[in-house]
Structure 1
Amino acid sequence: MSTITAISTAPGTGGIAVIRVSGKDAFKNFNPIFIPRKKNFVFLEQEANTVSFGNIVNGKNEIVDEVLVSVFRAPHSFTGEDVVEISCHGSVFVQQQILQLLINQHCVLAQPGEFTQRAFLNGKMDLSQAEAVADLIAANSAASHRMALNQMRGGFSSELLKLRTQLLNFVSLVELELDFNEEDVEFADRTQLKSLATTIERLILKLSDSFSLGNALKNGIPVALVGETNVGKSTLLNVLLNEDKAIVSDIHGTTRDVIEDSINIDGITFRFIDTAGIRDTKDKIENMGIERTYQKIEQASIVLWILDCTQLSEHMEWLTDRIAKRSAGKKVILVFNKIDKIADDERDVLSQLFEQFEGERIYISARERINTDKLQKALTKAAQLPDIHPGDVVVSNVRHYEALNHAHSAICRVIDGLDAGISGDFLSQDIRECMHFLGEITGQISNDEILGNIFGKFCIGK
């Protein structure tokens, strides 16, 4: 394997930057461009897990920068290889100069995720832990951070390892029976196997069921802003995001497509979706937008149904029918907007009109920012996300979720086969299929295409 290098800090100018070198020639390639400040100090003899101070010099022995150099010797490093980490000043020019000097010394520019891929290939972490590294970098809330950290520490992997080990023990006994089929012996107790298969089925189902929570924590809870045209959906979106994301106009049907953005409220990420106003129209383009509105209602976890306090639609029954059908089973918050334009007694009348509505109701003025803080509290309450504690296993990766579903189907076939009394060779096939999909998650079973797809999504330098 070649010795690779890359800038590991974010692009641009900063106080410091970190350049990473990894591979069997990491020390050899770096040594010619580094002059330690300490007298009689030999860089090639520097002890592992230590830091030295010195200058980076070019071919003319001109100083490029003063740096701190950290040394990690194989196998006790992130990648499992010899690693040098250079902390230099954050000038883009300085970073590029040092990078070019390393390339001149036969280092190769790292591909996206190549450092983490080498850590996986060298057995420093399994595939699910490697993917958690990317999730940790991308974490934008306390909950998503804890979830990624738990997975990176191997909580998910250890659960899967236990399942595969138990399955392996039993499939070995089942397959041993096949060698003695003429003697009609049974090494694997079918009752015990069914008990184990049932336990594994429940555990796999529990893991896959956690995906809805994990996906919400990782990507944000989808919140659809719905209602008729000109009730203030776009104005409210702009207020919640604290920026002019959506065009606001008195003209009906301004929003014709879906607008999405995310914001963190009390440690929870919400993904707000502003939708086209629902009304009866013959405009072909607007009708396409309304159809997308219906789709987003069905995809959302929380629906903010926004109504104009100043004039309730004469088509309220028609509108209620369309929203209610698609929001069944979801958290729906009724948001009465423009309360600054009505009297208190009119507000009481509105309350009576919707007394059959079971969801929470909030009275706001998006334009004047009245009670928008109460709406935010209602959103965090509607989210009802449990706390993530150290050791909790939550699935947040679509690839893992799909593999768990396949594994669940396979173990269910094992249970059905045991009930039907099928032969050991068919049982063995289904058990091995379950093991295969569990192994795909951790990388015990992988191929170059899967690895390329996973690590290609990482940033360069990680």
Structure 2
Amino acid sequence: MKLNDNIVALATPSGAGAIAIIRVSGPDAIKLVTPVFKAKSNKNLMEQPSHTLHLGNIVDGERILDEVLVSVFHGPKSYTGENTIEISCHGSPYIQQEIIQLLIRRGCRSAEAGEFTLRAFLNGKMDLSQAEAVADLISSENMASHQMAMQQMRGGFSNEIQKLREELLNFASLIELELDFAEEDVEFANRDEFQKLITRIQQVLKRLIDSFAVGNVLKNGIPVAIVGEPNVGKSTLLNALLNEERAIVSEIAGTTRDTIEDEISIGGVGFRFIDTAGIRETEDVVESIGIKRTFEKISQAQVVLYLFDASSPSASGISPQGGDYSQVKFEIGKIKNQFPQKPLVILANKTDKLNEDQLKNLKSPISDLNTISAKTGEGVEELQQKLLEFVNTGELRNNNTIVTNTRHYNALLSALEEINKVQEGLNHNLSGDLLAIDIREALHYFGEITGEITNDDLLGNIFANFCIGK
């Protein structure tokens, strides 16, 4: 991709709408738009100051394409750091394409995915981690993912890394200076102060690495598997949580033969609920595949909801009048043994069919039992609050830096590994030249995060995931 070209793209979603925005960026962006824009004020676009709006018509010769509003931004005070024009036109797909094709004929080329933000990064308008946060912000679907993307885009994460990198770089310079005076045995870098810095860097890196476990699930939604025997109300519960008829509900056991997934936001946090096939012995080949997938989904879930029919005195051994709950206890034990670290919420469903005495008897055989009626919605709100308790949103509430990007996470792991080598070198009084090697490696990984150190493959991989027009 040629980064000195003039590029054009639709910056709003494709399709019909009230308004569409077409973005043009490049050294000649204003010059290229000027001949095809006739301002109502008769002003020349080339002579207008930056950050001004102008009403007029986009014309192709004598033909008027649309009445538009043109925004003028002179570089470097623009999103990309280049001269930029944004054309707000009517949202007809025909009008959009007519204007874009006109500008291409005038000398622009179609922008690649993420090319506007790539230019912003290359022109120093933002660092690499901030650029990546732009994509996260666009794809955010709940308050938590939005807050994390905004915090990173404002530079919270990169500022923290940049500060550590600068301090480490200062000490690295002093150690490198010592190498120039090796014969005189002088020490420019105070080893006690250096030790304090290394300890602080280790603590910060460990905190950021640990935050990835929280950040990753908050960003992508917390998977919650709804499991249990057939016909206990799993699909009804999914519909109640989503507040829509997402899954088929039937009195026939084994209706759900494959997993059904959907996501909602609870308290600003995304939860991805997975309705699974009922767990039972069956000779039905299709249903058996569904049950196998149920256990696969349990392994992938962060939280498991085990549902049973509180009103059924059938062969399962469930009887509010004094059943032994043998089958329920067996299934609960099976899940706990197979997934001992996974939070398990036990739900007694269909409690709307029980009287008060039956409800009291229900809770005694099984500890940590939660009662619910998915059909009437009773207990659904309490279940949602319980799910929030499993999410560590403390760092989010305190506006602490949370790592959500796998590339950043891997770079932090590598940086910590190199810092630990520096620590080991200090413990064994290694010479400055050996310490300098590990310090340089740590600085390299810090630089990879913020973009001081990049290559074309890395940038291509990152910006290829952006949408066109951003």
Partner Cα separation in structure 2 for residue 16 and residue 403 of structure 1: 41
More divergent stretch after superposition (136-145 vs 448-457): 136-145
Indicate the residue corresponding to 1:407 in structure 2.
415
Q: Aligned letter for 2:177? A: L
> 2:449 maps to what in 1?
441
Question: Relative to structure 1, is the Cα distance of residues 290 and 370 closer, same or farther in structure 2, using a 3 angstrom cutoff?
Answer: same
2: distance between equivalents of 1:305 and 1:34? 64
Check whether the contact 1:111–1:460 (CA below 8 A) recurs between aligned residues: yes
* Structure 1 segment 394-433 matched on structure 2, within 5 A: 394-433=402-441
Contact residue 150 and residue 390 of structure 1 kept, 8 A: no
- 3-state SS of the aligned residue for 1:407? helix
Determine whether 1:453 maps to 2:461: yes
Q: Is the 8 A contact 1:303 1:327 kept in 2?
A: no
Match for 1:346 among 358, 361, 364?
358
Deviates more, 1:313-322 or 1:218-227: 313-322
The 2-side partners of 1:25 and 1:241 are apart by 50
Greater CA drift, 371-380 or 127-136:
371-380
- C-alpha distance in 2 between matches for 1:432 and 1:295: 43
TM value normalised by structure 2: 0.91
Distance 1:437 1:278 in 2: 47
Percent identical across equivalent pairs?
Answer: 53
Letter in 2 for 1:106: G
Aligned-partner Cα distance in 1 for 2:47–2:106:
19
Q: CA deviation at 1:442?
A: 0.9
Show the counterpart of 1:109.
110
Q: Which residue of 1 aligns with 2:72?
A: 71
Partner SS state of residue 197, structure 1: helix
> What letter is aligned with 1:436?
H
Residues 425 and 290 from structure 1, CA distance in 2 versus in 1: closer, same or farther, beyond 3 angstroms? farther
Cα RMSD (Å): 2.2
Q: Is the 1:120–1:126 Cα contact (8 Å) retained in structure 2?
A: yes
Query: Are the aligned partners of 1:155 and 1:391 in contact in 2 as well (CA < 8 Å)?
Result: no
1:9 counterpart = 2:12: yes
AA matched with 1:368: T
Please give the secondary structure, in 1, of the residue aligned with 2:445: helix
Structure 1 counterpart of 2:53: 51
Between 43-52 and 325-334, the greater mean CA deviation after superposition: 325-334
**CA displacement at 1:251 relative to structure 2:** 4.6
Kept after mapping to 1: 8 A contact 2:395/2:402: no
Distance apart, 1:379 and its partner CA: 2.4
- In 1, Cα distance between the equivalents of 2:436 and 2:76? 38
Q: Deviations over 1:438-459 (max 9, x none)?
A: 1111111111111111111111
Q: Is 1:187 aligned to 2:188, yes or no?
A: yes
CA separation of 1:290 and 1:202: change in aligned 2, threshold 3 A: farther
Q: Matches of 1:314 and 1:386 in 2, distance apart?
A: 39
Q: Show the 5 A alignment for 1:278-289.
A: 278-280=279-281, 289=290
Tell me which amino acid in the other structure corresponds to 2:117: T
**Which of 306, 322, 326 is the matching residue for 2:334?**
322
Q: CA deviation at 1:181?
A: 3.2
- Contact 1:362–1:374 (8 Å) recurs in 2: no
* C-alpha contact (below 8 Å) 2:214/2:392 kept by paired residues: no
Q: Distance in 2 between matches of 1:209 and 1:188?
A: 31
Q: Residue 141 of structure 2 aligns with which residue?
A: 140
Q: Which moved more, 1:132-141 or 1:75-84?
A: 132-141
Contact 1:294–1:326 (8 Å) recurs in 2: no
2: CA distance, partners of 1:427 / 1:396? 31
**Number of the residue aligned with 2:393:** 385
Paired residues for 1:40-439 under 5 Å:
41-59=43-61, 61-280=62-281, 289-311=290-312, 312=318, 314-355=326-367, 357=368, 361-386=369-394, 388=396, 392-439=400-447
Deviation at 1:27, TM superposition (A): 1.1
Residue-by-residue CA offset, 1:64-117 (whole Å, 9 max, x unaligned): 111111100010000000000011111111111111111111111111111001
What is the number of equivalent residue pairs in this alignment? 456
2:306–2:332 CA contact under 8 A, matched in 1? no
Separation (CA, whole Å) in 1 of partners of 2:457 and 2:289: 37
Distance 1:171 1:454 in 2: 30
Contiguous gaps of at least 5 residues in structure 1: none
Contact 2:395/2:401 (8 A) holds in 1: no
Letter in 1 for 2:425: G
Within 1, Cα distance between the matches of 2:51 and 2:379?
54
Q: 1:341 to 1:17 in 2, by over 3 A?
A: same
- Alpha carbons 1:336, 1:363 under 8 Å: kept: yes
2:35 corresponds, among 24, 32, 36, to 32
- Which has the higher mean CA deviation after the structures are superposed, 164-173 or 267-276? 267-276
| Higher alpha-carbon deviation: 189-198 or 23-32 | 189-198
* CA gap 1:428/1:250 in 2 versus in 1, 3 angstroms: farther
Q: Which runs of 5+ in 2 are unaligned?
A: 313-317, 319-324
Amino acid at match of 1:174: I
Shift of 1:263: 0.4
Q: 1:51 to 1:365 in 2, by over 3 A?
A: same
Question: Cα offset for 1:368?
Answer: 3.3
- Per the TM alignment, residue 152 of structure 1 is displaced from its structure 2 partner at its CA by 0.7
Looking at structure 2, the residues matched to 230 and 179 of structure 1 have their Cα atoms a distance apart, in angstroms, of 78
Q: 1:250 offset after TM fit, Å? A: 4.3
Cα deviation, residue 259, structure 1: 2.9
- Cα deviation code 1:254-274 (max 9, x no counterpart): 444433221012322111122
Report the residue type matching 1:17 in the other structure.
Answer: A
**Helix, strand or coil at the partner of 2:280:** coil
Amino acid aligned to 2:139: A
Distance 1:94 1:390, change over 3 A: farther
The CA deviation at 1:173 is 2.1
State the alpha-carbon separation in 2 of the partners of residues 286 and 178 from structure 1.
71
- 8 Å CA contact retained: 1:79, 1:116: yes
Q: TM-score, normalised by structure 1?
A: 0.92
